[in-house]
Structure 1
Amino acid sequence: MSQLGKLYGLGVGPGDPELLTLKAHRILTTVPVIAYPSLENGKVLARAIVTDFIRPDQIEIQMPLPFSVERSSQPHYDSAAEKIAEQLNLGRDVAVLCVGDPMLYGTFMYIFTRLCDRFSIEVVPGISSVMASAAMLGVPITYRNDVFSIMPGTLEAEILRDRLSFVEAAAIIKLGRHFSKVRGILEELGLLERALYIERATLPNQQIIPITEVDSVAVPYWALILIPSNSKPQ
């Protein structure tokens, strides 16, 4: 019986290729197979981040995913997992590229849950957009015993309002078309003055815009709002 390949979940960071870890770079440049998500609009951000490190002889597996959160991703992940499993069964190691960190709202998690009982898996952490955004915005997130919350803007308004009503520090991710809803809730809760908006953190087209000047129609999925701690440093 041939030896099975090993599956890697590689966090490739928020966008700047120089934020790729040494370990992720080593694995990326040595595995025979790489896989990465592609959206319906043709965007392949994970691959684009590391495009200069990909060898022409590497096998590439695209994982098409629905762009709309209303559409089920399950059959797409099922199909991607089986394509990856085919390579692993042939004894080839496979690295799945994931923007940010693989285990923090990462696409790799859904591959992991489908294959973790069949193959050896190693996860390589990456810098998340939340941490990168704090650095780009130049603000500390928390002090001392502050509790930091991360929540998706896709939550229902009532749930989001309830979660934000008692936060000490927070990041609201996956904004896109949900920006207006989130902005309204922040204003209602008196958090708008503390809220900082950034999109495409660390990428060449990164933008930091005063939240009151953001065009809600133009807000991308890769945007977030950071609410840093209101505690006083000592």
Structure 2
Amino acid sequence: MSAGTVFGVGLGPGDPDLMSVRADRLLRNARHVAFFRKAGRTGQARKIVNGMIPDGAVEFAMEYPVTTEIPVTDPRYNQALSAFYIDCTAHLKTLTARGEDVVVLCEGDPFFYGSFMHLYERLRGDTRVEIVPAITGMSGAWTATGDPITWGDDVLTVLMGTLPLDVLTARMTGTDALVVMKIGRNFDKVKQALQTTGLYDRAWLVEYAQMPQQTVTRLSEAGDRVTPYFSIILVHGRGRRP
């Protein structure tokens, strides 16, 4: 095992006040801080912790070689990302081999649809890795609506907007409560699936949950605008209650 430790630190949905005490403590004492971002951007994770990283800490920005430029079904997509994660892992291993600890910033929870998981799979086994769990983005989103997402025996389904239309429709059919993530350019497709399954009029659109620019809108009133990546569509359950 390496002498140093990589900490996958969940930052929660976007508000620094919703970070855990442990996440805050690790970050404020960090000597090395790594985070993902798109080339040319600050990175959402880095924005969340602005002002919290100690002076003198070394920052390592892991810049994605590709995001939405080519389809995820294109073999080049996985090839580019695989090489990227290998390079990032090598850098982290170099630091931990010298006895350094590294805090890797993770939006939401590190083990819930996050990029850190791809590093974790390459690190585990010969590198010390500790996970600091956090509030998920979807929890922050349904809290923003002011209504519980599930009641009693409700079944909650979580879907990615990147799925094909027929898969989205099939998965939505029969569920009690619903979360759809990764909306972005899949907005029209997700709306079509919701209309087909009769869930459209119950759906809410939450953009930038728990961030300063948060908006909460009934999907039927949202218009046809293209939503940002940080958008979640919700359908609340109506299950058993006393």
Range class of TM-score, shorter chain: over 0.9
Whole-Å separation in 1 of the counterparts to 2:111 and 2:60: 20
Whole-Å separation in 1 of the counterparts to 2:234 and 2:112: 16
| 1:188 counterpart = 2:196 | yes
Whole-Å separation in 1 of the counterparts to 2:163 and 2:24: 35
Whole-Å separation in 1 of the counterparts to 2:133 and 2:223: 33
After alignment, is 60-69 or 121-130 more displaced?
60-69
Aligned residues: 233
Query: 1:138 is matched with which residue?
Result: 146
Q: Assess, with a 3 A threshold, how the Cα gap between structure 1 residues 82 and 216 changes in structure 2: closer, same or farther.
A: farther
Residue 232 (structure 1) shift: 4.7
Secondary structure, counterpart of 1:8 in structure 2: strand
Gaps of 5+ in 1: none
Whole-Å separation in 1 of the counterparts to 2:67 and 2:129: 27
Q: TM-score, normalised by structure 1?
A: 0.95
**Maintained 8 Å contact 1:197/1:224:** yes
Deviations 1:136-176 (CA, angstroms, capped at 9, x unpaired): 11111111222211111111111111111121111000100
| 1:67 counterpart = 2:67 | yes
Superposition map of 1:34-183 within 5 A: 34-40=33-39, 42-65=41-64, 66-68=66-68, 70=72, 71-72=77-78, 73-183=81-191
Q: Assess, with a 3 A threshold, how the Cα gap between structure 1 residues 122 and 104 changes in structure 2: closer, same or farther.
A: same
Whole-Å separation in 2 of the counterparts to 1:153 and 1:186: 11
Secondary structure, counterpart of 1:79 in structure 2: helix
After alignment, is 77-86 or 91-100 more displaced?
77-86
Deviations 1:28-81 (CA, angstroms, capped at 9, x unpaired): 111211110011351400011011210121111111112216333211111111
Gaps of 5+ in 2: none
**Maintained 8 Å contact 1:198/1:224:** yes
* Residue identity matched to 2:67: F
Superposition map of 1:213-232 within 5 A: 213-232=221-240
* Residue identity matched to 1:52: G
**Maintained 8 Å contact 1:197/1:225:** yes
* Residue identity matched to 1:23: R
**Maintained 8 Å contact 1:177/1:216:** no
Instruction: Provide the aligned C-alpha RMSD in A.
Output: 1.5
Secondary structure, counterpart of 2:126 in structure 1: coil
Q: TM-score, normalised by structure 2?
A: 0.92
Whole-Å separation in 1 of the counterparts to 2:14 and 2:211: 5
Residue 117 (structure 1) shift: 1.0
Secondary structure, counterpart of 1:52 in structure 2: coil
**Maintained 8 Å contact 2:2/2:128:** no
Residue 210 (structure 1) shift: 2.1
Q: Assess, with a 3 A threshold, how the Cα gap between structure 1 residues 216 and 55 changes in structure 2: closer, same or farther.
A: farther
| 1:202 counterpart = 2:205 | no
**Maintained 8 Å contact 2:177/2:235:** yes
